[in-house]
């Protein structure tokens, strides 16, 4: 029978939040900076 | 099984030490992949260093001993060529050693490439920069690009397009971070006697090394026989989705590999050609209406669509199939490329921007959908190595696309065509390239069973 890893503990939830924040925050900043410049296109 | 392997000898970098323990969430793997791809995506923003590096000696303006823009352009080109070579030649090694060792190698090469380049800037020796960022950094790009692909496909057999799309989206997003970050750092380090490039290289090298190492720490491979909860392997696979495995050496002997090579190359050629010229093209097609500042905003907007297109189209391919997704790229792409000159003639900036955003989303989508397409055609086992070989199509397109656009434009202008109309023929040629891509994709069919691994080989 196939093993699963889907039984996620609280510790794993915290790891998920930290890992996604680690990549998500810089990416969100980059998108914000780019959009702020892109707005000039429509002025 | 997983616990025992961790207690055994060997290096932390070995594949055996990356096998996930029970309770590990597969959703930790995409951020691990993004740690690498967000860093190596910096290569698309390398041009922000070009102008400052022409003033390393003169500071406020170039002196005769300063580096020329044409010489600096080679840094990016060398890096892209070594990206393709490293991906092609290390794919088999990577499949064997696993993602962690590959990610650490990529971090050492890419971060180290920046540090070596900083030395080159400090000593004002361009060959050191070529070696650092171009050769060593380029190897880091190639190894880093393919390192998480197979791992993600193995963790997400139910949604391989979405999984690889998420990682490769990071490659598109890396420039969005790198560009403002690099400019900000250079401003911090600049002084009346210094442009601040060397220090910026050092800081970026350290940041990227740390970030990529975090990916290596997080990444895990599933235990043998693992499957997502509730996932049932389709009893009757779709026509173009194999349940067999094709060895990387055999894959190179199949027509399918070369059809896919052509499909990727033509999709990338069309996109990369106009991406590099987007700023100039928008200003020349709409003179007086799109200023230089607005054009840089346009390029930024394209970067965002390039990034999200990777995730959107790759995820969509899980539902409509890979071949159908590429059919959309080629058919819709042809229509949009052919319509771009019309937006210029009618002066419709909004439609021009909209058409370009969709075109570039499909350019990114082509990159992100190809790993899952390879998995469908050749199986999962050697997908990393096969993907590495296929990325030579990217290197070829990287040369072919910009050359095609630039030379056709020059030819048009030299023959008296107004700048505003000089891109029309280019657009029609791009539409023609996409038609060839459409035909190659149309002829895609399953790999003949003589190329499949024998049952005893598959078990080995």
ipTM value? 0.86
DSSP secondary structure string for all residues of B29-82:
HHHHHHHHHHHHGGGGGGGGGHHHHT-TTTTTS--TTSPPHHHHHHHHHHHHHH
Q: Count Cβ–Cβ pairs < 8 Å, chain A vs chain B.
A: 105
- Determine whether the interchain pair A38/B297 forms a contact, defined as Cβ–Cβ distance below 8 Å: yes
CB proximity B31 to A under 8 Å: yes
Q: Band of the pLDDT at B7, cuts 50, 70, 90?
A: very low
pLDDT the model gives residue A16: 95
CA-to-CA separations, A20 to B27, B132, B218, in angstroms, rounded = 9, 31, 11
Residue pair B240/B321 in contact (Cβ under 8 Å)? The answer is yes
A contact set with B (CB within 8 A): 2-9, 12, 15-16, 19-20, 22-23, 26-27, 29-31, 33-35, 37-41, 43
Structure tokens at B258: 């070369």
pLDDT band at A2 (very low <50, low <70, confident <90, very high): very low
**pTM (two decimals):** 0.88
- Tokens 């999962």 belong to B380
The per-residue pLDDT for range A6-43, each reduced to its tens digit, is 556 778 899 999 999 999 999 999 999 988 888 876 66
| Mean pLDDT rounded to a whole number for chain B | 90
Range B42-64 average pLDDT: 90
Distances (CA, A) of B70 to B64, B74, B296, B460: 14, 7, 21, 51
- pLDDT of residue B3 exceeding 60: no
Q: Kindly report the backbone phi and psi dihedral angles of residue B191, in degrees, each rounded to the nearest multiple of 5, phi listed first.
A: -145, 170
Least CB–CB distance from A30: residue in B22, B24, B173? B173
* Closest CA of chain A from B257, distance in Å: 32
Is the pLDDT confidence value at B318 over 70? yes
B28 CB contacts (<8 Å, ≥6 apart)?
Answer: A12, A15, A16, A19, B218, B220
> Which pLDDT value is given to residue B263?
96
**B-chain residues near A31 (CB < 8 A):** 173, 176, 304
Give residue for tokens 């720490």: B217
Which domains occur in chain B, in start order? 18-218 (1.20.1250.20), 248-448 (1.20.1250.20)
Q: Which chain A residues are closer than 8 Å to B295 by Cβ?
A: 41
Tell the burial category of B292 from Cβ atoms under 10 Å away from its Cβ (0-12, 13-18, 19+): exposed
Query: How high is the pLDDT of residue B81?
Result: 85
Cβ of B303 and A34 within 8 Å? yes
Per the CB < 8 Å rule, is A19 touching B170?
no
Query: Which of B251, B44, B233, B35 has the alpha carbon at shortest distance from B152?
Result: B35
Which residues on chain A are in Cβ contact (under 8 Å) with B180? 29-30, 33-34
From residue B292, alpha-carbon distances to B187, B279, B296 in Å are 21, 8, 6
pLDDT interval class at B307 (50, 70, 90): very high
**Residue B372: φ, ψ to 5°:** -70, -35
Residue appearing with tokens 């070594």: B82
Residue B225 has pLDDT above 50, yes or no: yes
pLDDT tens-digit profile of B371-425?
999 999 999 999 989 999 999 898 888 777 877 877 887 888 888 888 777 788 8
Length of chain A: 43
């Amino acid at each position: 029978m196939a093993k699963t890893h889907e039984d996620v503990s609280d510790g794993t939830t915290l790891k998920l939040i930290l890992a996604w924040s680690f990549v998500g925050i810089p990416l969100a900043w980059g998108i914000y900076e780019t959009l702020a410049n892109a707005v000039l296109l429509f002025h | 099984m997983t616990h025992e392997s961790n207690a055994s000898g060997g290096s932390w970098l070995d594949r055996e030490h990356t096998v996930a323990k029970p309770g590990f969430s597969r959703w930790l793997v995409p951020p691990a992949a993004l740690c690498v791809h967000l860093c190596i995506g910096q290569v698309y923003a390398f041009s922000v260093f070009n102008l400052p590096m022409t003033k390393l000696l003169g500071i406020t303006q170039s002196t005769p001993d300063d580096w020329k823009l044409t010489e600096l352009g080679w840094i990016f080109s060398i890096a892209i060529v070594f990206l393709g070579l490293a991906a092609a030649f290390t794919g088999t090694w990577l499949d064997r050693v696993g993602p962690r060792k590959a990610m650490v190698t990529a971090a050492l090469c890419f971060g180290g490439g920046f540090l070596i380049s900083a030395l080159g800037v400090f000593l004002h020796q361009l060959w050191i920069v070529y070696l650092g960022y171009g050769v060593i950094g380029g190897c880091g790009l190639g190894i880093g690009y393919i390192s998480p692909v197979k791992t993600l496909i193995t963790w997400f057999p139910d949604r391989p397009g979405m999984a690889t799309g998420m990682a490769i989206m990071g490659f598109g997003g890396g420039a969005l971070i790198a560009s403002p970050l690099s400019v900000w750092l250079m401003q911090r380090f600049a002084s009346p006697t210094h442009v601040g490039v060397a220090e910026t290289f050092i800081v970026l090298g350290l940041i990227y090394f740390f970030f990529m190492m975090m990916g290596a720490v997080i990444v895990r491979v599933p235990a043998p026989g693992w499957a997502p909860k509730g996932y049932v392997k389709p009893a009757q696979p779709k026509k173009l989705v194999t349940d067999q495995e094709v060895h990387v050496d055999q894959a190179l002997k199949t027509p399918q590999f070369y059809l896919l090579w052509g499909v990727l190359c033509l999709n990338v050629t069309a996109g990369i050609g106009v991406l590099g010229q987007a700023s100039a093209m928008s200003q020349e097609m709409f003179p007086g209406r799109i200023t230089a500042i607005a054009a840089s905003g346009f390029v930024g907007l394209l970067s965002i669509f390039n990034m999200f297109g990777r995730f959107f189209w790759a995820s969509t391919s899980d539902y409509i199939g890979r071949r159908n997704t590429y059919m959309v790229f080629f058919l819709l792409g042809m229509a949009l490329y052919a319509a771009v000159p019309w937006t210029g003639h009618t002066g419709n900036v909004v439609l021009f921007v909209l058409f370009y955003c969709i075109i570039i989303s499909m350019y990114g989508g082509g990159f992100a959908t190809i790993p899952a397409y390879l998995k469908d055609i050749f199986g999962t086992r050697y997908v990393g190595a096969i993907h590495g070989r296929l990325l030579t199509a990217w290197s070829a397109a990287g040369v072919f696309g910009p050359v095609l656009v630039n030379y056709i434009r020059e030819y048009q202008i030299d023959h008296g065509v107004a700048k505003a109309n000089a891109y029309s023929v280019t657009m029609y040629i791009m539409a023609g390239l996409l038609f060839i891509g459409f035909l190659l994709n149309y002829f895609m069919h399953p790999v003949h069973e003589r190329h499949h691994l024998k049952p005893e080989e598959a078990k080995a």
